[in-house]
Amino acid sequence: DGGITQSPKYLFRKEGQNVTLSCEQNLNHDAMYWYRQDPGQGLRLIYYSQIVNDFQKGDIAEGYSVSREKKESFPLTVTSAQKNPTAFYLCASSRSSDFNYGYTFGSGTRLTVV
Amino acid sequence: EDQVTQSPEALRLQEGESSSLNCSYTVSGLRGLFWYRQDPGKGPEFLFTLYSAGEEKEKERLKATLTKKESFLHITAPKPEDSATYLCAVHRAQGGSEKLVFGKGTKLTVNP
């Protein structure tokens, strides 16, 4: 079955550490996105990529980095520069040519700073 | 600036008590409005896409409608399994990129 796989489901980070969240899709979608979700804040866009080897900053990119070396993969690194990283992170993908269904989302990664 | 506002923030219903959720938006060049359902600890699941004022779509106990400035998600005779957070998003295209702008959601609780 086609879909988006995010791993791990839960992740714990110590102060000063970088951590990487994985996102893989087998939907043959061109575009991929990373969102952060906090209680009462809704979904906020971190980074997005519409094509391999290209990506753009979203609304809250500071303290995060991404890469898009393959169409299927869009990993997100939360760096030590991100001062408040505890949140629920969602990866999504979409077709560039057909937006009928909006985004397809993964099941999320919950990151906690310990 | 594009804005999507959902109300109420939270809604409690008794099983069988029908109601509506609201999504009002200001966006230049609306290219679609989306409704998603999100269960706790999971990613949002697609429900509906609406494109033009007057359009309606239905799925089981849910019906979504669209006007020029807002959308409603009507829930008829809800059941406890309809409890979830419902998210509204608008699709806009700008500078060659396609994006969804999300509201903060309405958390629905249906009590048996």
Q: Do B103 and A42 lie within an 8 Å CB cutoff? A: yes
The pLDDT tens digits for B2-46 are 789 999 999 999 999 999 999 999 887 778 999 999 999 999 999
The answer to whether the beta carbons of residues A52 and A59 sit under 8 Å apart is no
A43: amino acid identity, one letter:
L
Give the mean model confidence (pLDDT) for residues A82-92. Answer: 94
Cα separation of A80 and A76, whole Å? Answer: 13
Residue B68 at interface with chain A, using a CB cutoff of 8 Å: no
pLDDT of amino acid A97: 65
**pLDDT higher than 90, residue A62:** yes
Q: Is the dihedral of CA B92, B46, A22, A90 positive or negative?
A: positive
Minimal Cα distance from A40: which residue of B? B104
Q: Which residues on A lie below 8 Å from B44 (Cβ)?
A: 90, 103, 105
pLDDT of amino acid B96: 66
